[in-house]
Structure 1
Amino acid sequence: MTISRRDALTGTLAGGAIALGGGPAALAASAAPADWKRGLDNQRVADLGDGRFLNPLLSGDRPDPAILKDGADYYMTFSSFDSYPGITIWHSRDLINWQPRKAALTKNIGSVWAVSLEKHEGRYFLYIPVKAEPNSIFVSHADNIDGPWSDPIDLKLHDHIDPCHAVGEDGSRWLFLSGGDRIRLSDDGLSTVGAVEHVYDPWRYPDTWDVEGFSPEGPKIHRHGGWFYMLTAVGGTAGPPTGHMVIAARSRSIHGPWEQHPGNPLVRTTSLDERWWSRGHASLVEAPDKSWWAVYHGYENGLWTLGRQTLLDPVEWTADGWFRMTGGDLSQLLPKPRGGQALPHGMALSDDFHDLKLGAKWNFFRPAPDEARRARVADGALMLKGRGKAPVDSSPLLLIAGDPSYEFQCDIEIAPGGTAGLILFYDDKLYCGLGFDEARFVTHQYGMERGRPANSYGRRLTMKVTNTHHIIAYHLSGDGGRTWQRFDRGMEASGYHHNVRGGFLMLRPGLYAAGPGEARFRNFRFRAL
């Protein structure tokens, strides 16, 4: 099937509409290239091992990347929203291979949006915008990247998101904010000085473009070659795939005036044929070989369910002191930056539960203050105390999986009267999966509890969930996975995403326990397909 540029931008095709959520056109466009490298649990890896890489840099829901170059080390973190422990710090030495370290935020202060990760005079800072009642921006600090991080301090900035810390030519400290605004920080960076002021009117796109809204946000300030450069996202972060984009401006002073980049927008999806949609929220970073790169996020074609994934785009500085991105639509192999030590990339999602990797691997959804007390490991098992009656109120434990297709399985034993199971979870109003009690199964679909067929396995079984490009199947075993029986209910989950539900999240595999007692989970096995 061939889609013209005009048809792609209007979302129509002779004879019918394009199925953006996973129809034939999207499925063909998002099929993985044959030369993707596979790593732990068969997960896709950007580094091909031959001097080239293929985006995504970090797969799965890694939105609003905040990156920090700290000598030979690079640190990066992302919006963690309602997942806690949150703001997991990732580490690299070559910009391509990344390892998770520790989560910087354990106290639930609300839904965490695009943070700013900085280092100033030997101390690390996180400026954390939070959607709560009311919205605000917090700051946390640490003397070591692995913490301990201070308790978040409320800066009481209620009308802005997406802070970016910047230091002026005169040593003054600032937070640049959404909407082209900024506010001064105290010398220690832990409080504000004065009032918010408007300092920049972002470049406007033609009104014929299909966007979600103007939404100037995600400012990133970089000082290079005698200029301050400001990168901003406009067009909305989701909605039409052609909306989100990167623009830039520059100034000789942190105090302005700001001059618009003559090449705006620097990054924008222009066709539904492209592999990466809604690209934006960019930062600049210098690689070990002194080359420059832009890191930003985007949705994979037809795979809104995976959330916004982290992308890496080569940058070229031009003779007039501007820069441009040179990676095109990022669907092709690109040469890696040279130098730096390649760390082992990623982490296994399979878990033998010899220890509890909260934050680095597992996260609770919207936890209560005492949520972590529910989980413990003992004798190679995760013991998870039940809460609520179903995934909607049980605060499930979830993973970030970044492949279009995968399967995961686990041995599960429930307490008398308890319920447990495996799920694919977007949020507490939109999830699917399968659970069981002593007498019956419970199917979860559209965020509701539906069929309840009889359970002949009792309180112990092995359950497997297979997600084949949004087609969901369940299998059960009473002998530890040696033989399987397919459960008589299948599902389709391509609509479990932000453009249906909102929230900017992803469909995450995980497990839950509800009702009385503790559920026992053993031998969690994950494999990308």
Structure 2
Amino acid sequence: MKISLPFRSLLVAPLLGAVMLTTPATAQLWHSDQGDGTYRNPVLYADYPDPDIIRVGSDYYFATTTFVDVPGITILHSKDLINWTIATHVVPHLDGMPQYDLKQGNAYRKGLFAASLRWHDGTFYIAITPVGQNTRIYYAKSIKGPWRYHELDRVAFDPGLFIDDDGSAYIASSYNADGTITLLTLNKTLSHVTGAKKIYYIKGAEGSKIVKRKGWYYLFNAIPPRMALTVSRARSLYGPWKTHEQISDKTGGHQGAVVDLPDGRWVGFVMRDSGAIGRMTNISPVFWKDGWPVWGTPAAPGRVPEHAKKPIDGFPIAVPATSDSFSKPTLGLQWQWNHNPDNSRWSLTERPGYLRLHPTIADQFWDARNSLIQKAQGPRSRGTVKLDITHVKPGDRCGFGTLGQYSAQLAVGRTPAGAPTLGMTLTEDTIEGPKDIAHTTPKAIQGNTVWLRTALDFKTDKGHFTYSLDGTHWQAIGNPFPLAFAWRTGTFQGEQFALFCYNPKDSSGYLDVDSFTLDAGPG
């Protein structure tokens, strides 16, 4: 019989060998909805970057970047733009290069990013440009798929898909090193490019999005060199365009656009770089002045509010799923794999009620397939896993930790004589590649059941590990480790929780994961 994880355990001081008992309360994870008709930003305290949000009837859909996380292109759903749950993932498998299978190297910071989501005449469309490949247009009648795609004959960086009232389809694209905005015309099935024209220039522009309102076309562009957002407008898609500055990371964010409400009001969405947690999405009231959108309210214009009235009332608090007992035959939507998984090396059915991870062959965590990941949550989050290590073999490194600019691994293993051990390794990804910068000597532990805990604090950008042999008494291991975000190194994502199991050699061992529980820790 499975026993659920203790939900009320105290986060101990990060001193090697410290032992503490449980306390009666833990803090709640972040809720944007305050339960009184108001909300606070960010709407999701986690790494959901490059947002594109549309309305279909009374439903809102939010497409976000996933890089090499598989399945790719996450889409969230909301009824009020504040309370979001995960609706689906679009791309089940990354293709086009062996690195997506962690062969001949890795593909961190590649994959899928800056998707553009639109709906027209009963069909959802997503424009996406996989790194190193031509732009694709995915399409489906239902947001949950099945999704198919057309591949175009060229690359459109950060493609901004737009479908006009008459069904004519276009892609706006620009790359900040140039700033020239090109408009591609598509055929009726969105399967071919039929024309291309340079329509405007904004120094540093990328992340184009087009919205139409009252006969005007509004072109939103991120300006990464200045961490700013601009909006341009014209009566024709081909211009002439006139540009207004909007906001920046100092006042709310630098990549996004606006979406309409059923009653004619408008709301803005924008991404903001937010340190080790990654890039978070803010939602803002928008009002119109002289035909231009203004972020914020008339009383406080030009900035995204930290706290505001909900755009739409009447819907309950909702958040993306996190904790998991692995009692279903499929993984929850909160989980993704780091690169494409080897599906022969994991199972939810070999031992029902458990996630079984067979070791993949790798010399280090950074190159190991089948690391199962989930977004860390802020401002603090604490993941706890209960493991059955009965069948872990000598040489196996299986456990729980983080994946990111800094990857901290709390791994169980066995001595050559078969005694179970536990040790910590901290790796930093650098320009030269991943480097181990700290580790503990594996220590002997007793028994075949162990709880591992990873606690992350994004206010201090520190994390630390504890473990338990009974689910009640917790002991720290290793020193606190740093949390960080970068785009030239690391994963180009905020820190993520990771379950892993690998071995430099072929192994007949395996790890059984009983459950994963996420909370905010004490406080």
TM-score w.r.t. structure 1 length? 0.79
SS of the residue 1:130 aligns to: coil
Q: In structure 2, what residue type is equivalent to 1:402?
A: Q
In the alignment, does 2:198 pair up with 1:225?
no
1:472 maps to 463
Match of 1:322 among 292, 297, 300: 292
Please tell me whether the aligned partners of residues 124 and 142 of structure 2 are also in contact (alpha carbons under 8 angstroms): yes
The one-letter amino acid paired with 1:164 is: G
Residue 129 of structure 1 aligns with an amino acid whose one-letter code is T
Q: Does 1:67 align with 2:42?
A: no
Q: Per the alignment, do residues 251 and 491 of structure 1 end up closer, same or farther by CA in structure 2, a change over 3 Å counting?
A: same
Q: Give the structure 2 partner of residue 20 of structure 1.
A: none
Distance 1:366 1:359, change over 3 A: farther
Distance 1:186 1:169, change over 3 A: same
Query: 1:527 aligned to 511, 519, 522, which one?
Result: 519
Aligned counterpart, 2:378: 403
By how many angstroms is 1:514 displaced?
Answer: 1.3
The change in CA–CA distance for 1:162 and 1:359 in structure 2 (over 3 A counts) is farther
Which of 176, 181, 187 matches 2:172?
Answer: 176
3-state SS, counterpart of residue 366 of structure 2: helix
1:101 to 60, 77, 87: 87
Residue type of the partner of 1:245?
A
Amino acid at match of 2:143: I
d(CA) in 2 for partners of 1:85 and 1:323?
A: 35
The aligned amino acid for 1:420 is C
Question: Is the partner of 1:392 in helix, strand or coil?
Answer: helix
Note if contact 1:113-1:161 (Cα within 8 Å) is conserved in structure 2.
no
CA distance in 1, matches of 2:28, 2:78: 21
- 1:142 maps to what in 2? 140
1:73-96: CA deviation from partner (whole Å, max 9, x where unpaired): 111110111111121221111111
What aligned pairs does 1:202-351 form with structure 2 within 5 A after superposition? 202=202, 204=203, 214=204, 216-236=205-225, 243-261=226-244, 264=245, 266-270=246-250, 279-300=253-274, 304-318=275-289, 320-326=290-296, 329-330=303-304, 332-339=306-313, 342-351=315-324
Note if contact 1:41-1:348 (Cα within 8 Å) is conserved in structure 2.
no
Deviation, structure 1 residue 373:
5.8
C-alpha displacement of 1:459: 4.5
Aligned equivalent of 1:166, options 162, 167, 173: 162
SS state at 1:104 partner? strand
Query: Separation in 1 of the partners of 2:407 and 2:491?
Result: 13
Contact 2:84 2:320 (8 Å CA) reproduced: no
Q: Deviations over 1:318-372 (max 9, x none)?
A: 1x21121126554531111135x5254113411111126646211101114x448
Q: 2:427 aligns with which of 440, 446, 464?
A: 446
1:193 positional shift: 1.8
Q: Would you say the 8 A contact 1:381–1:520 is kept in 2?
A: yes
1:121 aligns with 2:121: yes
Change (3 A) 1:289 1:141: same
Residue 99 of structure 2 corresponds to none
The alpha-carbon distance between structure 1 residues 70 and 436, as it changes in their structure 2 partners (threshold 3 A), is same
Paired residues for 1:24-43 under 5 Å? 42-43=28-29
TM-score by length of 2: 0.80
Q: Is the 8 A contact 2:249 2:272 kept in 1?
A: no
Cα gap change, 1:283 to 1:347, in 2 (>3 Å): same
Describe the superposition over 1:423-472 as per-residue Cα deviations: whole angstroms up to 9, x where unpaired. 11116xx4112112023434221244543323223554211122233332
Task: Give the structure 2 partner of residue 190 of structure 1.
Answer: 191
Structure 2 equivalent of residue 412 of structure 1: 387
Contact 1:86 1:359 in 2 (8 A): no
1:363-512 alignment, distance < 5 Å: 363-368=336-341, 370-371=342-343, 374-377=346-349, 378-389=351-362, 390-395=364-369, 396-414=371-389, 415=391, 416-417=393-394, 418-426=396-404, 430-439=406-415, 440-447=421-428, 448-449=435-436, 450-457=439-446, 459-468=448-457, 469-479=460-470, 481-487=471-477, 489-494=478-483, 496-498=484-486, 501=489, 503-512=491-500
Alpha-carbon shift at residue 114 of structure 1 (Å): 0.2
Q: CA deviation at 1:168?
A: 4.1
**Ranges in structure 2 where 5+ consecutive residues have no aligned partner:** 1-25, 96-109, 416-420, 429-434
Deviation of residue 223 (structure 1)? 0.7
2: CA distance, partners of 1:398 / 1:50:
34
SS of the equivalent of 2:256 reads strand
Distance 1:281 1:372 in 2: 39
Counting matched residue pairs gives: 448
Q: Deviations over 1:373-406 (max 9, x none)?
A: 6232533211122213442222311111221222
In the alignment, structure 1 segments of 5+ residues that lack a partner are: 1-39, 205-213, 237-242
Deviation at 1:60, TM superposition (A): 0.6
Q: CA 1:291–1:168 in structure 2 vs 1: closer, same or farther (change >3 Å)?
A: closer
Q: Does structure 1 conserve the Cα–Cα contact (< 8 Å) formed by 2:296 and 2:303?
A: no
Distance 1:187 1:41, change over 3 A: farther
